[in-house]
């Protein structure tokens, strides 16, 4: 992803995460950070999703992942997650961590299909409603 993609990224972000969305500055930081790996998924030159992860050897941390609503349930999310996992494996990283809302069963289901396991709970992690986050991990 590049700076020029920010308007499309924010459009997806605002719909996917209406209560805890990232702002423009957060995405600009991620695009420029040496620890961050931001990837966009484009269909016909249109950004339809993105995934961002950090590499802090020996682990990776998925910090943000979304697919535009119109393109969900069509395999794009699985494609993008698989792409990120393979990129992380290429770097000889041993594990991937992420947090997901306790109420986001759809995302948890996708992660479990890829072998992620629940390894913890962060109580009252989300500021807007004090919802717990499920910590999930994938080990290689």
Q: Which of 42-46, 88-92, 124-128 has the lowest mean pLDDT?
A: 124-128
State which CATH number among 2.40.30.10, 3.30.70.600, 3.40.50.1220, 3.40.630.30 fits the domain covering 3-139. 3.40.630.30
Concerning whether 50 is annotated as a catalytic residue, the answer is no
pLDDT of res. 61: 98
pLDDT of res. 21: 73
Share of the chain above pLDDT 90, in %: 89
Catalytic, out of 8, 13, 30, 99:
99
Q: Are strands 133-139 and 117-122 parallel, antiparallel or unpaired?
A: antiparallel
pLDDT of res. 66: 97
pLDDT of res. 90: 96
pLDDT of res. 128: 78
Q: In terms of pLDDT, which residue wins out, 21 or 75?
A: 75
pLDDT at 44 over 80: yes
Concerning whether 111 is annotated as a catalytic residue, the answer is yes
Catalytic, out of 29, 30, 111, 131:
111
Show contacts of 129-134: CB within 8 Å, 24+ apart: 129/19, 131/101, 131/102, 131/103, 132/101, 132/102, 133/99, 133/100, 133/101, 133/102, 134/99, 134/100, 134/101, 134/102, 134/108
pLDDT at 20 over 80: no
Q: What is the mean pLDDT of the segment spanning 64-87? A: 97
Q: What is the mean pLDDT of the segment spanning 97-106? A: 95
pLDDT confidence tier of residue 19, bands split at 50, 70 and 90:
confident
């Amino acid at each position: 992803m590049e700076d020029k993609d920010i308007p499309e990224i924010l459009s997806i972000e605002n719909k996917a995460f209406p209560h805890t969305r990232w702002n423009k500055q957060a995405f600009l930081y991620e695009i420029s950070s040496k620890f961050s790996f931001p990837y966009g998924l484009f269909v016909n030159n249109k950004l339809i999703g993105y995934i961002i992860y950090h590499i802090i050897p020996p682990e990776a941390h998925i910090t943000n992942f979304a697919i535009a609503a119109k393109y969900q349930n069509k395999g794009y999310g699985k494609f993008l997650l698989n792409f990120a996992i393979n990129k992380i494996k290429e770097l000889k990283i041993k594990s991937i961590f992420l947090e997901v809302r306790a109420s986001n069963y759809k995302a948890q289901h996708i992660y479990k299909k890829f072998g992620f396991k629940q390894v913890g709970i962060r109580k009252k992690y989300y500021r807007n409603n004090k919802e717990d986050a499920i910590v999930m991990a994938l080990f290689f």
